[in-house]
Amino acid sequence: MSRILISLILLILFFPGKAQVYHSCPDHPGGEYENPLYDQWLSAYDVKHYQLTLEVSNTNTHIEGIAEVVLEVLRDLDTLVLELQDGLEVNGIMFNDELQDMGYPAENELDFMHHNDAIYIKLDQTRNQGDHFRVKIQYGGDAGQSRGFFAGISHKRGSDYGFDVTYTLSEPQNAKDWFPVKQVLEDKIDSVTFNLICDKELLAGSNGLLMKVEELGSEHILTWETHYPIAYYLLSFAVADYMDYSFYAPLSDEGDSVLVQNYLYDTDEVLTDWKSQIDETGSMITLFSQLLKDYPFASEKYGHAMAPLGG
């Protein structure tokens, strides 16, 4: 088996806007890092939090949504750079000064340029070391421009059970295929909130815990949160006609356990074929917790989501 593992709401969350051009095209310096943007641009800030709100489907790789990124400035910064493939359209970028009002910061529209798979965002003023701020990027389009095993996002119909699935696999440099990102491994994202909007008949899974499900007409919003630091390319989602088969695996301390959550194709045939092997996951987690150390993400989960992806 192959395994891995809006827009009414967008109008509420964001304004309809047009891209404004930032008129000077920065040079792309090289450096000792593989990412040529690192030395001049990406090393100037630390990513603290993401909130992604995306409308997704199991039948295509078209996405529409908003990426909110909270940053801490590491050295004086007047231009913020994030990576995003040119095949996606950026419709507007807003700026929130976290220091102005921690509850409801004022918003200002920012000029930007989207060029060579990077967004150059001209800040309203130079931000100094230690400053915190938030940018809100409205974007969309067909994210499935890349092809191959490590495409950032893919849609396929499985040959085994015939289910349509849209899923991400961003390693090593393809997270930019589907969300604005700093692709630097040294900078772990401290926490993530991911709002996935899809048809009510579907489930959309992601990192962390499912915090709530809200109905939105014929769709619903599944809100996932993770509070463990995470590398950019591990942020993911999968959407399909899933069922949720979950259980808890005991850890080393009596009474302690971790959620083992499995998004499986919604057919009895899958459980018949694979339940016993999936259940062994819990036994393995328990064994290694007793022999070595508890599963390191025990306050959230160990998770699988099925997709037509061999490995």
Beta-ladder partners of 239: 166, 204
Q: For residue 273, is it within any domain?
A: no
Looking at residue 311, its pLDDT comes to: 62
Q: For residue 209, is it within any domain?
A: yes
Strand 219-226 to strand 209-216: parallel, antiparallel, or no bridges (unpaired)? Answer: antiparallel
Beta-ladder partners of 88: none
Looking at residue 172, its pLDDT comes to: 85
The answer to whether 196 touches 206, Cβ cutoff 8 Å, is: yes
Q: How far is CA 133 from CA 44, 67, 82, 182, in A?
A: 13, 14, 14, 15
How far apart, in whole angstroms, are the C-alpha atoms of residue 214 and residue 48? 26
Question: Which residues form the domain of 207?
Answer: 8-241
How far apart, in whole angstroms, are the C-alpha atoms of residue 251 and residue 148? 38
DSSP character at residue 232:
G
How far apart, in whole angstroms, are the C-alpha atoms of residue 235 and residue 182? 12
Q: How many CB atoms lie within 10 A of CB 106?
A: 10
Q: For residue 96, is it within any domain?
A: yes
> Using one digit for the tens of pLDDT, what is the confidence trace for 50-106?
999 999 999 999 999 999 999 999 999 999 999 999 999 999 999 986 544 445 455
Q: For residue 187, is it within any domain?
A: yes
The per-residue pLDDT string of the chain (311 residues; one tens digit each, 9 = 90 and over) reads: 444 333 333 333 333 333 333 323 334 333 344 677 887 899 999 999 999 999 999 999 999 999 999 999 999 999 999 999 999 999 999 998 654 444 545 578 899 999 999 999 999 899 999 999 999 999 999 999 876 777 899 999 999 999 999 999 998 899 999 999 999 999 999 999 999 999 999 999 999 999 999 999 999 999 999 999 999 999 999 999 999 999 999 999 888 999 999 999 999 999 999 999 999 999 999 999 999 999 999 999 999 999 998 76
CATH number at residue 49: 2.60.40.1730
Q: For residue 22, is it within any domain?
A: yes
Q: For residue 288, is it within any domain?
A: no
Looking at residue 16, its pLDDT comes to: 34
Q: For residue 285, is it within any domain?
A: no
| Number of folded domains that form the chain | 1
Q: For residue 80, is it within any domain?
A: yes
Phi, psi of 95, deg, nearest 5: -120, 130
> Using one digit for the tens of pLDDT, what is the confidence trace for 199-217?
999 999 999 999 999 999 9
Looking at residue 38, its pLDDT comes to: 81
